[in-house]
A and B are shown apart, each in its own frame.
Chain A
Amino acid sequence: MRHEVRFSGFGGQGIILSAVILGRAAVMYDGKYAVQTQVYGPEARGGASMSAVIIDDDPILFPKVMNPDIFVIMSQEGFEKYGSGAPESAVMLLDSTLVHSRPSCRYIEVPATREAKETLGRDIVANIVMIGALVAATKVVGETAIERAILDSVPKGTEALNTKALKRGFELVAQEKTG
């Protein structure tokens, strides 16, 4: 089964790292194939950043995302540039702290930045909260796989914080579903 996941937000939120972590989880710990690509702008901070991951059980031929079925949107500008055209069949996880618009497809509101700031004390892990929500909602990779990929990718000393952020993402989706 091929999934095409598109991440967007502003530079500095860890949009690209999120995509790398997701691809890594699929390849290294779920035994699948993945290709991660991104749009490079001249700015390192701000702007609308975009990165994409294709995950498939079979080797991936065409490496670019054409019809994303999963969107992870973390800024209003990112929504406008990379999320507003999402097809009806897609599912979108959006950071409800920062994105005011809502798409016409199915969506899940994840207050990731608020949770990161208020519950976890560091807004820098908002992207990890989003990844947790993404995995819980779509099962695009396994929960163990994503946790291991995160631990591979984050700076030493921040493992506990990031694991907590991931779990918080899992919980937010569980609450959304039951609530």
Chain B
Amino acid sequence: MTRTEFWQGNIACAEGALAAGCTFFGGYPITPSTEVAEHMAAKLPKRGGTFVQMEDEIGSIAAVIGASWTGARAMTSTSGPGFSLMMENIGFAAMTETPCVIVNIQRGGPSTGQPTMAAAGDMMQCRFGSHGDYSVIALCPASVQEMYELTVKAFNLSERFRVPVFLMADEIVGHMRERIDVPDSVERVDRVPLEKGTLPFSAGKTGVPGFPAFGKGYGVHVTGLTHDERGYPCATSPKLHEELVLRLVRKVEDARHEIADYEIVNPDAEQVFISYGAPARSVGQVLHDLGNENVGHLRLKTVWPFPEGILRKFPDAKEFLVPELNLGQIAREIERYVDQPVKQLPKLGGDLHTPAELKAALGGLK
């Protein structure tokens, strides 16, 4: 059963988090994400959860990671400048395999840039922003409905794979209000507790170790240093470092097809748009207006790990067109995997690609 609401995207995100069982939110106000924090501040205490406004975004993500080690489903939300500040500790979360959800309502950058305008300029930062090699999961909502659904999914993926999961939204989706059908209940995946007698960072076949929550008698040592299966630092062992980093990367990358979430329209088309986030709405309008099967659409809800296998689902594609609210961050990723030409359709400034602009990009081929 569902009920209909008219919600802002950021509110839907917060409500999705609550539905997913989030009990801890640590954050710092920043436009255009603040409504997420405000809603959590209003709702969490009434449900026995904890909201804390930290002194900055470095502290916010740190508090979230600390809370997660007590077993809490924990999240933060931010935008560009705050996201940059979080990067060091995001690497710590990846290294210590701490489940956590980071919401980024993207705005125009670099620097203070356009606080109230949409962008998708942090897509590469979310994948590679912290130092060293690691892997993460990133989801991109294109509607208020998906702000809710993908937040729920972010929690479940984060619990299952023990990685930071990013909800990479943009100001348009975060700030617009629209109709949403809210389910009565949602699926919930919980981190698997560590079996007593097992070494805390021994991963087994799944690549994901059991979770030794604080306060349960595990006596676990958690460190950002390269560590062995006991969790003990061993920062000068080339072999152990390589093994650890490869496991952290593989547990996510090897599951990329399973994590992939997407929508395909007109798979036999010769011209195919690939989109994520708000520009997907413009593409949807173009396909609706054209009303034929000559133009296809791959809408990515999962951007990281990049689900390159689904690019093969367009056997007749002669050209991929990639509208993005940045200068081609994901278009370049697509180019790595396809032989066909990839047409970058970058857009800066905060406005969405208009359907007319996208129709023009199809050129004579349509």
Partner-B contacts on A (CB < 8 A): 20, 23-24, 27-28, 33-42, 60-64, 66
Q: Which of B6, B175, B285 makes the CB contact (< 8 A) with A62?
A: B285
Q: Which of B6, B281, B288 has the most CB of A within 10 A?
A: B6
Q: Please tell me if the beta carbons of B6 and A64 are within 8 angstroms of each other in the complex.
A: no
Q: Please tell me if the beta carbons of A35 and B178 are within 8 angstroms of each other in the complex.
A: yes
Q: From residue A58, how far is it (CB to closest CB) to chain B in Å?
A: 9
Instruction: Say if the beta carbon of B284 comes within 8 Å of chain A.
Output: yes
| Residues A27 and B4 in contact in the complex (CB < 8 Å), given A62-B281, A63-B281, A66-B354 | yes
Q: Please tell me if the beta carbons of B6 and A63 are within 8 angstroms of each other in the complex.
A: no
Q: Please tell me if the beta carbons of A63 and B178 are within 8 angstroms of each other in the complex.
A: yes
Q: From residue A39, how far is it (CB to closest CB) to chain B in Å?
A: 8
Complex Cα spacing A41 to B5, Å: 27
| Residues A62 and B355 in contact in the complex (CB < 8 Å), given A23-B6, A28-B4, A40-B116 | yes
Q: Which of B175, B179, B281, B352 makes the CB contact (< 8 A) with A33?
A: B179
Complex Cα spacing A38 to B175, Å: 8
Q: From residue B250, how far is it (CB to closest CB) to chain A in Å?
A: 38
Complex Cα spacing A61 to B291, Å: 14
Complex Cα spacing A38 to B31, Å: 14
Contact digits for B284-326, partner A, Cβ 8 Å, 1 yes 0 no: 1100100000000000000000000000000000000000000
* Chain B residues in 8 Å Cβ range of A24: 6
Tally of A-B Cβ pairs under 8 angstroms: 62
Complex Cα spacing A33 to B177, Å: 11
Q: Please tell me if the beta carbons of B177 and A40 are within 8 angstroms of each other in the complex.
A: no
Closest to B176 in A: A37
Instruction: Say if the beta carbon of B18 comes within 8 Å of chain A.
Output: no
| Residues A63 and B179 in contact in the complex (CB < 8 Å), given A34-B6, A40-B32 | no
Chain B residues touching A, majority SS: mixed
* Chain A residues in 8 Å Cβ range of B355: 62
Closest to A58 in B: B288
Q: List 17 A-B contacts (CB under 8 A).
A: A23-B178, A27-B6, A28-B4, A33-B178, A33-B179, A34-B6, A34-B178, A36-B178, A37-B177, A39-B116, A40-B116, A42-B116, A60-B178, A62-B284, A62-B355, A63-B176, A63-B352
* Chain B residues in 8 Å Cβ range of A33: 178-179
Q: Please tell me if the beta carbons of B177 and A41 are within 8 angstroms of each other in the complex.
A: no
* Chain B residues in 8 Å Cβ range of A62: 281-282, 284-285, 352, 354-355
Q: From residue B263, how far is it (CB to closest CB) to chain A in Å?
A: 13
* Chain A residues in 8 Å Cβ range of B284: 61-62
Q: From residue B216, how far is it (CB to closest CB) to chain A in Å?
A: 45
Q: Please tell me if the beta carbons of A64 and B116 are within 8 angstroms of each other in the complex.
A: no
Complex Cα spacing A39 to B175, Å: 10
Complex Cα spacing A61 to B285, Å: 5
* Chain A residues in 8 Å Cβ range of B179: 27, 33-34
Closest to A53 in B: B177
Complex Cα spacing A64 to B178, Å: 12
Contact digits for B65-89, partner A, Cβ 8 Å, 1 yes 0 no: 0000000000000000000000000
Complex Cα spacing A72 to B190, Å: 50
Closest to B144 in A: A35
Q: Please tell me if the beta carbons of A23 and B177 are within 8 angstroms of each other in the complex.
A: yes
* Chain A residues in 8 Å Cβ range of B177: 20, 23, 34-37
- Could you tell me which residues of chain B, from 25 to 74, have a CB within 8 Å of some CB in chain A? 31-32
* Chain A residues in 8 Å Cβ range of B281: 61-63
Instruction: Say if the beta carbon of B123 comes within 8 Å of chain A.
Output: no
Q: From residue B286, how far is it (CB to closest CB) to chain A in Å?
A: 9
* Chain A residues in 8 Å Cβ range of B116: 39-42
Closest to A31 in B: B4
* Chain B residues in 8 Å Cβ range of A61: 281-282, 284-285, 288
Q: From residue B276, how far is it (CB to closest CB) to chain A in Å?
A: 15
6 new A-B contacts at CB < 8 Å, known A20-B6, A35-B176, A61-B281: A36-B6, A36-B178, A40-B116, A42-B116, A64-B352, A66-B354
Contact digits for B273-284, partner A, Cβ 8 Å, 1 yes 0 no: 000001001101
Closest to B282 in A: A62
Complex Cα spacing A75 to B5, Å: 31
Complex Cα spacing A128 to B285, Å: 33
Complex Cα spacing A60 to B179, Å: 10
Instruction: Say if the beta carbon of B172 comes within 8 Å of chain A.
Output: yes
